[in-house]
Amino acid sequence: MRKKVFSVIEPVDNGSKLSNIYDFIMMTTIVISLVPLAFKETNAVFRWIDYITVSIFILDYFLRLITADFKIKKSVVSFFIYPITPMAIIDLVSILPSISVLNNGFRLLKLFRLLRTLKVLRVFKFLRYSKSFDIIASVFKKQKKVLSAVATMAVAYILVSALVIYNVEPESFETFFDAIYWATISLTTVGYGDIYPVTTIGRIVTMISSAFGIAIIALPSGVITAGYLAEINK
């Protein structure tokens, strides 16, 4: 019985009709559960949406927990390992903020209202049911050395640029964090314009760092795109 449940809840490339239906229901539930977060006010409809969707999430979490040995394949130990796996943590965190809604009478559980904003993490539950995510995850795994090198370059760029601009134009950057914020925004080419250099030398530093930033940003994009196309062509 547990094995049958596992075959339904665990998505596979050529899953059964029941498995595909289960995935569709869960993805639909995730989307519906996010609807109330788009509104500041709450009402009876939104509360019922939360009651129903969180109940489905709890059931899904329970089913995955009792079939953890089929996925992790470490006998009884699997039931203790599963709750600390990344996807299980996301599942649990997406459930906890709603406990206070289900149990308003318990004062202790009202503390979870502070975590209400974490409901938005339910969107990450899509990763469990997305076949495309498996391809992307495979790309990141195979290209992790290159991507790690690029990430190191990006961090080094941010720190060096921040140190340079902070010492070149201290009047425009009150703290070193402001300089790091500026360097990060420059790296991503967003350019909010809330913090910027005003001296000539500061602008020269900005032009040079922006040119390097564009090159650094382009590297992972090319690597990921090439790896994604390679995985699709297999």
Above 80 in pLDDT, residue 110? no
pLDDT-based confidence at residue 90 (cuts at 50, 70, 90): confident
Looking at residue 85, what DSSP letter applies?
A: S
Kindly list the distances between the CA atom of residue 61 and the CA atoms of 11, 78, 89, 101, 141, in Å, as whole numbers in the listed order: 15, 14, 10, 18, 26
Quote the pLDDT of residue 14. Answer: 57
Gyration radius of the chain's alpha carbons: 23
Above 70 in pLDDT, residue 209? yes
The residue type of 29 is T
pLDDT-based confidence at residue 187 (cuts at 50, 70, 90): confident
pLDDT-based confidence at residue 134 (cuts at 50, 70, 90): low
CA distance 128 to 121: 13
The residue type of 231 is E
Phi (first) and psi of residue 227, to 5 degrees? -65, -40
Total residue length of the chain? 234
In this predicted model, what pLDDT tens digit does every residue of 16-56 receive, in sequence order? 778 878 888 888 888 888 788 777 777 889 889 888 988 99
Above 60 in pLDDT, residue 86? yes
- Could you check whether 2-129 and 139-233 share the same CATH topology? no
Out of 1.10.287.70, 2.40.50.140, 1.20.1260.10, 1.20.120.420, which CATH number does the structure's domain 139-233 have? 1.10.287.70
CA distance 174 to 17: 60
Percent of the chain with pLDDT over 90: 2
The more confident residue out of 106 and 173 is: 173
Both tokens of 135, joined, read: 């391809």
Both tokens of 83, joined, read: 């709750």
Looking at every residue in the chain, the average pLDDT score rounds to 78
Cβ-contact 218, 188 below 8 angstroms: no
2-129: CATH architecture: Up-down Bundle (1.20)
Q: How many helices (H) and strands (E) does the chain have?
A: 12, 0
The more confident residue out of 140 and 120 is: 140
Sign of the Cα torsion 88, 113, 40, 190 reads: negative
Cβ-contact 51, 143 below 8 angstroms: no
Q: Which residues, at least 6 apart from 50, have a Cβ–Cβ distance to it below 8 Å?
A: 33, 36, 98, 101
The more confident residue out of 162 and 146 is: 162
Domain boundaries, the chain: 2-129, 139-233
Work out the average pLDDT over 221-234: 73
pLDDT-based confidence at residue 105 (cuts at 50, 70, 90): very low
Above 80 in pLDDT, residue 223? no
- How remote is the C-alpha of 92 from its chain's centroid? 14
Above 70 in pLDDT, residue 113? no
Quote the pLDDT of residue 38. Answer: 75
Above 50 in pLDDT, residue 112? no
pTM of the model: 0.56
